[in-house]
Every structure is written in structure tokens, then in C-alpha cells.
Amino acid sequence: MIRRFLILLLLAWWGYSTSLADDMPLITPLDSVENITTIDTIATIASIASMDSIILQDVDVKNVWKKRIFRHGWSINDTSIVYPPVLDFGVKTYRWLNHALNYYDTAYVVNPGKTSGKKWKVMLKNNNWIDFYSGHLSNWKTPVQLNSDVTSLFGFQICGMGLSFTYMINVRDLLAGNFIRNRRLQFSFTTSRIFVEAYYRKNDESTVHINRLGNWMGSKIFAGLKREGYGFDAYYIFNHTHYSQAAAYCFSKYQKRSSGSLLSGIYLSHQDVVMDMSKLDEELKPYLPNRDTDYRFRYRDFGVLIGYGYSWVFHHGWLYNITCAPSIGYRHSFPNSIDGKRSLLSTNLTSKMALVRTAGNFFYAFTFNHEGHWYTSQKHSFFNSYNNFDLTAGFRF
């Protein structure tokens, strides 16, 4: 009996001991506090290193555009470059405008800057201009005709990437030892669709030749003429994919096949021509229609112009262009003008001609530009014109 009780007690103790062992966690060296801390530290360091790598990589990607734009051969049309948001907006706007305003059918017009990579031009230029004046005074009874001397300039011009620098000297006045009295400023902007030009010209008491006054005809020096004028022309080129004004007058494009286009736009012009007849030679004064000696034609024009331009490619590398654009509009005559303050009809004429030879990267050109303004009223008529001849030799690089 006692033996059975001891056996049962031993079995109960063994079962209790086994249940306690099953409830206790298995202890290994890796479960020590030190090892747990080490593993967490390694994981943390790896996480930080990974984050730093991502940050450095992100910074490097953001700075790629800086390296790319200073690399040789960079193009603003390269869409693989990621720009900052503000700069990206400007680049995309430029691309859109460039495509919308400067697109050509390459079967007719090509851009040497894109096909050959030659985006700059250096040119030697000889510029010559002369003014003509003619009309009728005193109820259209007394004809008058005058012309200026030829002003000849020589210099160079560098163009590229939409920028231009020109330096010219007045050869005639330099050889004669006189100061330059003629002033001229000119600005032009052209795309495939739009041509814009602005100018300012002033002759400070330049001597001219009077060739006719009433019944008198001959040639006399006249020092009583002053002229100041400024203007603005802008017109749209309708056949802009096949025809290029820039090929004939800016040499930034190359016309491969003959083509023409209708032109239409607006103009603004201000003219101020003064003839002080008191400075005439004494022998010419009797031919004046009356005692009036101050003839001033000062007026401002606003109107529309419409014309046509045609480029004839008559041989490989040769281009002949002719452009004619008459205009009509409103004319405001100022109070100190010969007819006083009046509203008149404005009629003007602009015409151009160019002969261009292209041989590889070299090009040679002769261009002519005529700008005429015709003033008419019941008592007077007066036509003043500006005529410009250019000889150009250039090289693309």
C-alpha cells in the first residue's frame, strides 16, 4: 500500500516538472540582451545607409540638367533632360513657339543651323543709301526735285542664336574728313510666319543736290533740307511653310525650291521733312512760286499693307527674290506742317530685291530696299524715299 502511494507521488511530481519545462521559453545565446541590441543597430545602420544612397542619387538626378546644358552639342529640343519646374515650363513654351512660328517644309526651306550645326555667321558688309525728294508746290504748279549724296558704310556683323552685333564706319565722311551727320537705327525680327521691322533715321542739315525748281533745271548744292523719320512694319507670311523671307535678307535659312507668298500686315510711320528755301542760291530764288520759304511736311501714318514676295531658285545655290508691299491708311498732318492740322489719305510703298549665292558655308548677296512716302493735298504733293543697297560676304560657323 505504501509502495503504491510512493509510486503515484513520484509520477505526479514528474508530470508537474514536465509541464513547467514545456511552458518555459527555449533559451539560446542569440536571445541575450547584447545580441538583440547588435541586430537592431545593424538594421538601423543599413536603413540609414540606404536612405542616404537614395538622397544622394536623387540630388545627382536633379543636377544632371546643369551638366547637360554645358556639354558640347546640347540642344534645347532634347526631351531626355529633366529641368526644374519653372525652367521646364520656359523650355516647353519655347519649343511650342519655335514649332508654331518657325516651322518649314524641308523640301522647300532648310535651316543650316539644324542640318549642319552652323549656328553663327560672320559677315563683311558694304551699305550704301541715298534719299530722293520730288513734288509740286503752290497748287501743284511748281515742280521740285532733290537728291542726297550717297552715304557709304563699311563694317562687319556677327549673328547667332537670335543675337547680332554690327559695327560700321562712314567711309565717305571718313575720307572727306567730315563728321557723320546721318543717323540710322534699325531693328528686325523674323520667323517663318511673321516679319517685324522698326527703324529711325535722321539727317541733320545734310547737303543735297537740287535738280529742278519750277522752270529751272540743273544741279546746285542745297543746305536747307532736314529729315527725320521713324516707323514700324509687321506682316504675316501666309505661305510660311514653303517661302522664307529670312533666306533672302537675313541668310539664316536656305531656300531649296522656288516659292512665293501673300503678305499682309500693319504699319506706323512718322515723317518730318523741312525745306528751308531761304538757303537757296540767289539765282534760284526767283523760281519760287511765292514768298514762302518754309516748306515743312510733317505727318504720321497708320494703316494696312498688303503685298507679295517671290523667291526664284533658278540654279543650285542661287536665289533671286522680289517683294512689293504697297500700303494705305490714315494720315494725320501736324499743325506746323505746310497744310496745317488735317486728316489725309496715307499711301506708301515698300519694295525689296535680293540676289543671293550660297556655296557651302560661304554666302554672297546683293540686296536693295526701297521705302517711299507720298504726301498729297489740294495745294501740295511731296514724295520722299529712302533707297538702300547692300553688298554682303559671309561665312557660317
Asked whether 307 and 370 are in contact (CB, 8 A), the reply is no
pLDDT at 55: 46
pLDDT computed for residue 33 by the predictor: 38
Pairwise CA distance, residues 53 & 323, whole Å? 64
Contact criterion met (CB below 8 Å) for 214 and 140? no
What's this model's pTM, rounded to 2 decimal places?
Answer: 0.76
What nine digits make up the cell of 22? 514545456
Residue 188's pLDDT is 85
Any residues with CB less than 8 A from the CB of 204 and at least 6 apart, and which?
181, 182, 183, 226
Please list the pLDDT of the chain residue by residue as tens digits (397 residues): 444 444 445 544 544 444 434 444 443 343 443 444 444 544 454 454 454 444 444 445 567 777 777 775 667 777 778 788 888 888 888 777 777 777 899 999 998 877 667 778 999 999 998 999 999 998 888 999 999 988 888 999 998 766 778 888 877 666 555 555 677 888 888 889 999 999 999 887 678 999 999 999 999 999 889 999 999 999 999 999 999 999 999 898 999 999 999 999 999 999 999 999 999 999 999 999 887 889 999 999 999 999 999 999 999 999 999 999 999 999 999 999 999 999 999 999 999 999 999 998 999 999 999 999 999 998 999 999 999 999 999 999 8
DSSP label of 28: -
pLDDT at 62: 60
pLDDT at 7: 47
* Cβ partners under 8 Å of residue 59, min gap 6: none
Interatomic CA distance for residues 379 and 116, integer angstroms: 59
Separation of alpha carbons 152 and 187, rounded Å: 19
Query: How much is the pLDDT for 176?
Result: 55
The confidence score (pLDDT) of residue 164 equals: 76
- Domain residues of the chain, as ranges? 40-101, 109-396
Q: Quickly name the fold that domain 109-396 has.
A: Lipocalin (2.40.128)
Q: Specify the pLDDT at position 41.
A: 47
